[in-house]
Amino acid sequence: MLGYVPGRRLPLLLLALALAACVQPWLPPGPWWLVPLALVLLALGDALLGWRLPALAMERRVAKVWARGRWGEVALTVHHTGGRPLRLALFDHYPQGWEMSGLPHASRLSAGQFVQLTYRLCPPLRGDHRFGRLELRVESPLRLWTRRVWLGEGEAVRVFPDFTTVLKRSLAAADRHVPQAGVLRRRRRGEGTDFHQLREYRRGDSLRAIDWKATARHQRPISREYQEERDQQIVFMLDCGRRMHALDGETSHFDHALNAMLVLAWLAQKQGDAVGLFTFAGPQRWLAPTKGRAAFDRLLAGLYDLEPGEIHPDYVQAAQALGEHVHKRSLVVLLTNIRDEDGDTLPDALRLLTRHHRVMCVSLREVALDQVLTRPVADLDSALLHCGTLDYLEARRLAMQRLHGHARELMDVTPQQLPVALVNRYLDLKESGAL
């Protein structure tokens, strides 16, 4: 692809032609028409000289995987392998909507030289994106025209959720360090569900942990040490319906749920549990529970381009569909946004799930609702808004209350609280042997 656009000096040439036409009637007789003719020929000659395509080659170094909301760098190299010296401006056709810093870039190149530059991008959305070709704007020798030249080929990249910050909390919990960022550890030595080893009795061990046969054999107190049970399953039920479009700041409830889910999935695979995913009320995806780091990578690759739809969630249908996929007892983590109208269908869905599984039902509460209640009531409009919010929250509270008899683990948290709440509850269940 190529084309010509006017250069920065062409308007000056046109102005000279206009002036020549204006002053010609007042000049003495003579071949003054040669002046505009010369200017026109000059412009045409410059266009012909600039028409020859310069010998250029381009390299782009760009990461194939990006993190949503994090700045990254793209490196460009343009080689001038032959021909006249060039004045050019570089512009890369990066994915639409990305934030950019560092373009366009102006440069001068002689034959055999090259230019290198680095610019920065920040992707705002997850999913598949594509870089276009590199665009160069090369000036003609007299700078009357600018030639547009496209180099290289397009490249596809993927943008994944960025969960680096909240993942640190999960790693801190998994390593059993001191409490950090709200993650509470209540590990009690010697308690668990799976036998781990025999060891010498320590102060604080329960008498029930003493192995009396080993004590008699070694002639000193010996305790049995247990560890958290492994080889269990966690299946995430992710609501992809229209409610998950709700925003808290610049991040949707859906992206908050994805980030928290990935945190818990990372921790679970570190604990030796299998992790699976089932989505409903929108794009439907099923990833069977698997173990290890490969399972986490598979989960990440299976949801990076997932977006919520515009469908109302049908919890009963989702519970029935999950029952067809999952037969082993599992911890089912339902991530959704509960409303008062769900009181008719969600209890039935929870009854279906709790027949065979331990269910953790987590509802995301809008931060904006809490903020409304903290604002002063100064006029009629603010009073109506305050009362309407109270009425809505009361209806929601009653809906949550009706669900307590159908799910042991029921949480109503803000998106910011979600990662830590999930991690804490999961570890409590592991340590208590409730899974």
The SS3 assignment for 311 reads coil
Distance CA 396, CA 373 (A): 15
How high is the pLDDT of residue 76?
93
Report the mean per-residue pLDDT for the chain.
80
Distance CA 370, CA 362 (A): 18
How high is the pLDDT of residue 72?
93
Can you tell me the mean pLDDT for 310-337? 91
Query: Is the per-residue pLDDT at 361 higher than 50?
Result: yes
CA-based torsion, 214, 216, 217, 218: positive or negative: positive
Q: Could you please report the per-residue DSSP string of 21-43?
A: HHHGGGSPSS-TTHHHHHHHHHH
Contact (Cβ atoms closer than 8 angstroms) between residue 150 and residue 128: no
- Residue length, the chain? 435
Nearest to 116, CA basis, from 74, 83, 66: 74
How high is the pLDDT of residue 321?
93
Phi, psi (rounded to 5 degrees) for 234: -120, 125
Does 359 or 86 have the greater pLDDT score?
359
How high is the pLDDT of residue 333?
95
Q: pLDDT-based confidence at 181, cuts 50/70/90?
A: very low
How high is the pLDDT of residue 189?
42
How high is the pLDDT of residue 180?
42
pLDDT tens digits for range 226-279? 655 556 899 999 999 988 988 887 788 998 899 889 889 988 888 889 999 999
Distance CA 220, CA 229 (A): 28
pTM score, whole prediction? 0.71
Query: Is the per-residue pLDDT at 182 higher than 90?
Result: no
